[in-house]
Chain A
Amino acid sequence: MKPRAEDKPVYTKLWPDARSALDGIVRDGMLLAVGGFGLCGIPEALILALRDTGVRDLTIASNNAGVDGWGLGLLLETRQVRKMISSYVGENSEFERQYLDGELEVEFCPQGTLAERMRAGGAGIPGFYTRTGVGTLVAERKEHKNFDGVTYILERGIEADLALVKAWKADRLGNLIYRRTARNFNPNAATCGKVTVAEAEIIVEPGELDPDEIHTPGIFVHRLVHNPHPEKRIEKITTREA
């Protein structure tokens, strides 16, 4: 941040680090929405900081549950998660053990339904009808409704107590830009948090981001953390020969 000529303090959502950015906004039993697909585009620093708060009995809506020892897998190791709302959890043996032992509850939610539940929750829409899951286990105990001869089920929007997201670039007003497929659930999760904390690799001054290129307007983001060198672990490195 460049110093200003005038003495007026600069308005900023930027916090010194991930640990301080979670001060006063975490509590046991809360519902979180966390961005990321697999290990791609996960808020690494915020997950580590969340673990270190020692907060427990969390319900986490996130497409995946990380892997053993990384991402949301870190919170499973420390038994801080009571329930996951996810579409796919196949890469985590600690997850499987806790699930089979009944220590961890899982609500399997189709991937598109999960994204839309976050989008709807963030948009003040408490529920929506979808064809996804009709006639399957997912439809059990859900309201069914016929529109124009087609059956749909009612799915609820998700309003999270806290959303954690990962951006590529941000300005200190919380405007966010994501990179490549690291975008995934992050923009949707960002909207559905009563409080949303974002971490970004690059932080710039207001005006340096082209307004037309901002993916998440800063109104959705309450706190911001700079994480210039995330690890960005890769689950499956696949390459071709030249």
Chain B
Amino acid sequence: MAWTRHQMAARAAQELKDGFYVNLGIGIPTLVANHIPKGITVTLQSENGLLGMGPFPLHGQVDPDLINAGKQTVTLVRGASTFSSADSFAMIRGGHIDLAILGAMQVSEHGDLANWMIPGKRVKGMGGAMDLVSGVRRVIVITEHTAGDGTAKLLRACTLPLTGTRVVQRVITNLCVLDVTPAGFEVIELADGVTREHLQRHTDASIRFSDAAIER
């Protein structure tokens, strides 16, 4: 059985280490915050200018001056700080953020990422995604393994306009976990019931399997 969105988020949360400063993208990556392992301290950065983002506020505690990069109302944790956009992106492009977990439209076997525009469709803009992928030390993508119409999202080369080149280190899909290696995609974990053959059929790049990618 393929992993659910929450199982994907829980798997991504295993990538977090004590003391990490982390930026979570919009969508499934946001759910990672609900699965931070007990006993470790992770500080969430929101690129609109907030370090130490807490959960959504209670009904009576909504503050219009306190939102996240998805424009949702949020709260501050103890020890939080707020700052300007230039300072926020100094953290990002200066390599001070340990990990970014982002969504994707396409990922290539070289780690190229496309997640901001589809030619001919409504263009909303890249927001901070290009800065994040070029500046954050480690970039992990969470995405469904294939698009809604069944086409592959993991490819030899992206066909959509890029967000960054050679920026993704690891991909967590609903079917597996893959690393981007100099030799291309290497599967390191399979979701229960997913076969190697099934995975290859739904990936438009050649994939290798580590010994740990055991069919269950």
Residue from B86, B93, B122 within 8 A of A132 (CB atoms):
B93
Assembled-state Cα–Cα distance A179/B67 (Å): 12
Q: Which residues of A contact B70 (CB under 8 A)?
A: 236
Q: Does B106 reach chain A (CB closer than 8 Å)?
A: no
Q: Does A235 reach chain B (CB closer than 8 Å)?
A: yes
Q: Does A221 reach chain B (CB closer than 8 Å)?
A: no
Please determine whether A87 and B125 come into contact, CB atoms closer than 8 angstroms: yes
Assembled-state Cα–Cα distance A137/B67 (Å): 29
Please determine whether B125 and A181 come into contact, CB atoms closer than 8 angstroms: no
How many chain B residues touch the partner (CB < 8 A)? 50
* Stretch from A6-14, A50-58, A184-192, A203-211 at the B interface: A184-192
Q: How near does chain A come to B87, taking the closest CB pair, in angstroms?
A: 8
Q: Which residues of B contact A183 (CB under 8 A)?
A: 49, 82-84
Assembled-state Cα–Cα distance A163/B131 (Å): 24
CB interface residues, B 153-182, toward A, < 8 Å: 161-165
Q: Does B3 reach chain A (CB closer than 8 Å)?
A: no
Q: Which residues of B contact A110 (CB under 8 A)?
A: 126-131
Assembled-state Cα–Cα distance A166/B66 (Å): 14
Q: Does B43 reach chain A (CB closer than 8 Å)?
A: no
CB interface residues, B 54-96, toward A, < 8 Å: 55-59, 62-68, 70-74, 76, 82-86, 88-89, 92-93
Please determine whether A240 and B58 come into contact, CB atoms closer than 8 angstroms: yes
Q: Which residues of B pack against A, CB within 8 Å?
A: 46-50, 55-59, 62-68, 70-74, 76, 82-86, 88-89, 92-93, 112, 122-131, 134-135, 161-165
Q: Which residues of A pack against B, CB within 8 Å?
A: 37-41, 63, 86-91, 96, 108, 110-116, 118-119, 130-138, 168, 179-188, 215, 232-242
17 inter-chain pairs at a CB distance below 8 angstroms, sorted by A residue, are A40-B65, A41-B65, A88-B124, A88-B125, A90-B124, A108-B126, A110-B126, A110-B129, A111-B89, A111-B131, A113-B89, A115-B86, A130-B134, A180-B50, A232-B65, A236-B72, A236-B73
